[in-house]
Amino acid sequence: MDLDSSYFFQPGAGSFDFALPTRIIFGEGTVGRLASEVKKLGGSRVLVITSAGMPGRQSFKELISTLQQAGIEYGVFTAITPDPSIEDVEACLKAAKSIKPDCVAGFGGGSALDVAKKVAMEINTPKIMIPTTAGSGSEVTYNSVIKVDGHKKTFSDARLAADAAIIDPDLLTTLPAAPMVCSALDAMSHAVESYGARRGNGLARSLALEAYLKLKNNIGRALAGEADGRRNITLGSLMAGMALTMTGTTLGHALSYPLSNQGIPHGQSLAMVLPYLLEINRFDAGYAEELKAFRRAYCVTQSISWNINEMAAEVAADERHLANNPVPVTLEDIVDIYTRIRDEG
């Protein structure tokens, strides 16, 4: 793997401040522990926040069954859109007023978890996150990414951290190939960005590098239906999320936002830019072509408006992400990346 040596000499690498208050419960079959975890947090009435298609799935039915068998009351909110908006959050808060939960459970991909975390923070209840994809890492971050006025906004607050995260690799068993790959590339972007971030440190880089290797070496195995493959990409996603909590994101997320603002799901937008991030940041650049093939095969996107100069200007103005990138990036670099993404398909 080709890593530029400058990654090991970032400012501040010798000291860091890291708090992870989330209790992590990892392993096959652990989704059945939701009821017991609710009780540990003193809960007896749960608001389950998930996406519209989830209630028909067997895994969701089993989740609800655990609550019923334990005598825990529950309500379900499903009006979550991909890359959710502040309106989704407001609608869920309205539903919460009638349900009056004393615990919130997020069940789904990053969109459902981000809304669940924001709602739980607003109503000041304990929260349990259960990811059904290996990608966002939202179950262990302090962030909630919500669209406000059509543009992504990252809310960062220690109160957004989940009290518990139940991470069950078996939930990936019925996940179709396309969302499995796109979510794994989302997690891989977290690992790459965390590893190179200027706000990084030795602990974050260790987590990020191990996460990257687990994801890179196991996406194909997970696609082939291997349990070890699913377990390793799930663990890789978790570790990348833990690293991300310490480091923040860099150029990859800056490049993805103008794409997401046009309706491309977050995981797909990161899959589009990830190969070019590897190249410009000199992180395992030899893997970029294989990633492009993965993206073409699995992360198909709708047509978008390639107003490249406008998109590049938006990225160039994103000082928070660009200042954290390990290498300087110019407006011309950004224009070149978007042009290549468009032309290379």
Q: Residue 29 region, left (φ>0) first, then alpha (ψ -120 to 50), else beta? A: left
- Could you write out the DSSP letters of every residue in 252-315? HHHHHHHHHTTT--HHHHHHHHHHHHHHHTTBSGGGHHHHHHHHHHH---------HHHHHHHH
Which one of 3.40.50.1970, 3.90.25.10, 2.60.40.10, 3.40.309.10 gives the CATH number of domain 30-167?
3.40.50.1970
Of residues 151 and 71, the one with the higher pLDDT is 71
In the predicted structure, residue 190 carries a pLDDT above the cut 80:
yes
Predicted model pTM: 0.92
- Give the pLDDT score at 8: 47
Q: Is the pLDDT of residue 9 over 50?
A: no
Q: What pLDDT is attached to residue 10?
A: 52
Sheet holding 73-77, edge to edge: 23-26, 164-167, 127-131, 103-108, 45-49, 73-77
pLDDT band at 13 (very low <50, low <70, confident <90, very high): low
- 11-15, 47-51, 56-60, 81-85 — which is least confidently predicted? 11-15
The string of pLDDT tens digits covering residues 253-298 is 999 999 988 888 888 999 999 999 999 999 999 999 999 998 888 8
pLDDT at 6 over 60: no
Give the mean pLDDT of 223-228: 96
Q: How far apart are CA 100 and CA 103, in angstroms?
A: 9
Residues 244, 249, 252, 254: is their CA dihedral positive or negative?
A: positive
pLDDT at position 205 is 93
Q: How confident is the model at residue 214 (pLDDT cuts 50, 70, 90)?
A: very high
Average pLDDT over residues 116-132: 97
Distance of alpha carbon 57 from alpha carbon 105, whole angstroms: 17
Both tokens of residue 339? Answer: 């042009």
Alpha helices, DSSP H, located in 70-199: 86-99, 110-123, 177-196
The reported pLDDT for the residue numbered 82 is 85
Distance CA 291, CA 274 (A): 8
Tell me which fold the domain 176-344 belongs to. Answer: Dehydroquinate synthase-like, alpha domain (1.20.1090)
The half-sphere exposure of 74 on its side-chain side, counting CA atoms within 13 A, is 23
Mean pLDDT over the full length of the chain: 92
Higher pLDDT pick, 151 / 68? 68
pLDDT of residue 99 exceeding 90, the answer is yes
Whether the predicted pLDDT of 245 surpasses 80 = yes
* Start and end residues for every CATH 1.20.1090.10 domain found in the chain: 176-344
Among 281, 272, 24, 241, smallest CA distance to 145 is for 241
Looking at the chain, the domain(s) classified CATH 3.40.50.1970 span: 30-167
- Whether the per-residue pLDDT at 5 is higher than 60: the answer is no
Tens-place pLDDT, residues 286-341: 999 999 998 888 887 777 889 999 999 999 999 999 999 999 999 999 999 999 99
The 8-class DSSP code of residue 22 comes to P
